[in-house]
Chain A
Amino acid sequence: MNSPLETTVLFWIGPVPITQPVVTTWVMMVVIVAGCYALTRNLSLKPRRRQAALELLVTVLDTQIRETMSVEPDRYRTFLGGLFLFILIANWSSLIPGVEPPTANLETDAALALLVFVAVIVYGIRAGGVRGYLRSFAMPTPLMIPLNLVETLTRSFSLLIRLFGNIMSGVFVIGIVLSLAGLFVPIPFMALDLLTGLVQAYIFTVLAMVFIAAAVAESQTSHESGKD
């Protein structure tokens, strides 16, 4: 068993090493996009069970965004919903024998945290402008600028560490149990991994919502106070 902190390079494209998480992610992307394309064909005004389930997913997501961020979900649904689906499918990919979930890899989680970090900045600037967003770091007093900067970095880093730690530990535990006990013993741990994967995807997405909502609110407040 390889160390979870190491990535296996499968092949090279020029100078670019193509590691296993990347290939797994590509396969997963193809499956997700093809599945979503198949699911969303022939939607009608009178929904059947499949369409009703998809609309329920969107409705739940919109409700979560509305309740957490206190804003209309149209701008944020694509990013947050895509983030949730990516993490969830990636986490649950561990159920397929021989597949290591991409989220058990540090670079994948770092990429997701990086996207959230960028999204916070983009949505903050879109809400209050560059000056408003930058001014939000000086709220409530300029003395808080270092702390706010550190907080922005550390909360993204916490996202990375939380997701990586939970998913990697699950994979690691299953690997250890499988090597020690036998074929069917890890099944309860895998079931637990299903729950863990769902919870972690939910936590990651909700925290992203909170961070973006905070940035948007603070940026708007700074923008409006700057006008005054």
Chain B
Amino acid sequence: MTLDWWTLGLQTLNAAVLIWLLSRVLWRPIVSAIQARQAEADKQLSDASETARKADEAKAQAEAELDQVGTRKSEMLAQAQTEAEAARKALLDHARAEAADMARTAEAERAARAEEAEARYAARAADLAQRMAERIGARLSRPALLEAYATDLLAQVAALDTEDRAALGSEKLMLRISEATEAGYGEAFADRLGKTLGEEIRPAIKTDAELICGLALETKHLHLESSWAADLARMRKEVANDTQ
């Protein structure tokens, strides 16, 4: 057995060259590809971490803004509630004031209407009383009643002061009698009046049904009356004063 040194050397060279060539065309490209992918994976992981960190920051910021919005919302709600309460109170006060005004106005109107109605009722009652008195007067003894009024009128004349009594004698005098009585009644009363005044009196005599029953003396400045109508007017006035 012999060893071929040339073949040994060539094969050694061949193996060394092949190992060197494989390092160029096989190992280095594959390792480079693996390292490139590893670097890319690291980069993407880093980017993902960065993105996750930014997302966390954005989430925290959004939550903070949400909290602020919630706080602001609570404040606005409280403010709106306060304003609404104040507006409600103001409206309520205004409504109460209006209601009080309306109540007062209604009360005043009601009182006025009641007063008016009472006055109206009083007037009607007076009218009714007057009509009843008139009817009652019509059933009484007319001559006796007329005489009573004549006596009363003469008493009024007698009660006049001197100046008024002088005026009755000097001025133009009108005697009104409620109804056509027997002939000469007016002159007879004039005589009685003259006796009362102490001088002769001749008044103008006139029949006036509005007196109902009674007599009246009138001059330019003096009016004396004693009649059923005058009594009724006086009593109506007194009743009206009483009801007020």
* A-contact bits for B6-26, CB 8 A (1 contact / 0 none): 111111101111111111011
Stretch touching chain B among A77-85, A148-156, A180-188: A77-85
- Residues in A with CB closer than 8 Å to B7 are 7, 17, 19, 21-22, 105, 107-108
Contact of B19 among A25, A86, A110 (CB under 8 A): A86
- Asked if A25 contacts B22 (CB within 8 A), the reply is no
Q: Are B23 and A78 in contact (CB under 8 A)?
A: yes
Question: Are B22 and A81 in contact (CB-based, < 8 A)?
Answer: yes
| CB closest residue in chain A, given B40 | A45
Does B204 interact with chain A (Cβ within 8 Å)?
Answer: no
B136 within 8 A of A: no
Within 8 A of B (CB), among A1-46: 5, 7, 16-19, 21-22, 25-26, 29, 32-33, 36-37, 39-40, 43-45
Q: A37-B25, A106-B3 are in contact. Are A82 and B33 (CB under 8 A)?
A: no
Q: Is the CB of B15 within 8 A of A112?
A: yes
How many interface residues does chain B have, given as a range? 20 to 34
Task: Assess whether A47 is interfacial by the CB under 8 Å rule.
Answer: yes
Majority SS at the chain A contact face = helix
- Collect the chain A residues with CB atoms within 8 Å of residue B33's CB: 43-45, 47, 51, 55
Do B3 and A110 touch (CB < 8 A)? yes
Which B residues touch A85, using CB under 8 A?
22, 26
Can you pick out 20 interface pairs between chain A and chain B where the beta carbons lie within 8 Å of each other?
Answer: A16-B6, A19-B4, A19-B7, A29-B14, A29-B18, A33-B21, A39-B26, A40-B29, A43-B29, A43-B30, A54-B30, A55-B33, A77-B31, A78-B27, A81-B22, A82-B20, A83-B19, A107-B11, A111-B12, A115-B12
A58 and B4 form a contact (CB under 8 A): no
Contact (Cβ within 8 A) B15 A32: no
Query: Once the chains are docked, how many angstroms separate the CA of A71 from the CA of B171?
Result: 166
CB of B25 within 8 A of CB of A5, answer no
**Shortest distance between the CB of A108 and any CB in chain B (Å):** 5
Q: Is the CB of B4 within 8 A of A33?
A: no
Q: Say yes or no: is B123 at the interface (Cβ < 8 Å to chain A).
A: no
Known: A44-B33, A58-B34, A86-B18. A21 touches B11 (CB 8 A): yes
Seen from chain A, the residues whose Cβ lies within 8 Å of a Cβ on chain B are 5, 7, 16-19, 21-22, 25-26, 29, 32-33, 36-37, 39-40, 43-45, 47, 51, 54-55, 57-59, 77-79, 81-83, 85-86, 102, 105-108, 110-112, 114-115
**Is there contact, CB below 8 Å, between A58 and B27?**
yes
User: B37 touching A45 by the CB < 8 A rule?
Assistant: yes
Chain B residues within 8 Å of A106, by CB: 1, 3
* Chain B contact residues, majority secondary structure: helix
Q: How far is the CB of B145 from chain A (nearest CB, A)?
A: 144
B11 touching A111 by the CB < 8 A rule? yes
Q: For window 56-74 of chain B, which residues contact chain A by CB distance below 8 Å?
A: none
Please tell me if the beta carbons of A25 and B11 are within 8 angstroms of each other in the complex: yes
Given A7-B7, A36-B22, A26:B15 Cβ within 8 A: no
Q: Please name all residues of chain B whose beta carbon is closer than 8 Å to the beta carbon of A107 when the two chains form the complex.
A: 3-4, 7-8, 11
Chain A, residue nearest B34 (CB): A55
Report if A78-B11 is in contact (Cβ < 8 Å); known contacts: A40-B26, A45-B37: no
| Given A25-B11, A36-B22, A107-B3, 14 further pairs, Cβ under 8 A | A29-B14, A29-B17, A33-B25, A36-B26, A40-B25, A40-B30, A45-B36, A58-B31, A81-B22, A82-B18, A83-B15, A111-B14, A112-B15, A114-B12
In the complex, A167→B33 CA distance in Å?
35
Query: Which residues from chain B contact A111 at a C-beta distance below 8 Å?
Result: 8-9, 11-12, 14-15
Option from B11, B17, B19 in Cβ contact (under 8 Å) with A108: B11
B 165-213 contacts with A by CB, 8 A = none
Which of B3, B15, B40 is the one whose CB lies under 8 Å from A115?
B15
> In chain A, what residue has the closest Cβ to B10?
A22
Which residues of chain A are within 8 angstroms of B37 by Cβ–Cβ distance?
A: 45, 47
Verify B14–A82 contact, CB threshold 8 A: no
CA distance A106 to B21 in the complex (A): 24
Which chain A residues border B16 with CB–CB below 8 Å?
Answer: 115
* B19 adjacent to A79 (CB under 8 Å): yes
Give min CB distance, B28 to chain A, whole Å.
8
B42 to chain A, nearest CB (A): 12
**Top 8 A-B pairs ranked by shortest CB distance?**
A82-B19, A111-B11, A111-B12, A107-B7, A78-B23, A40-B29, A43-B33, A36-B26
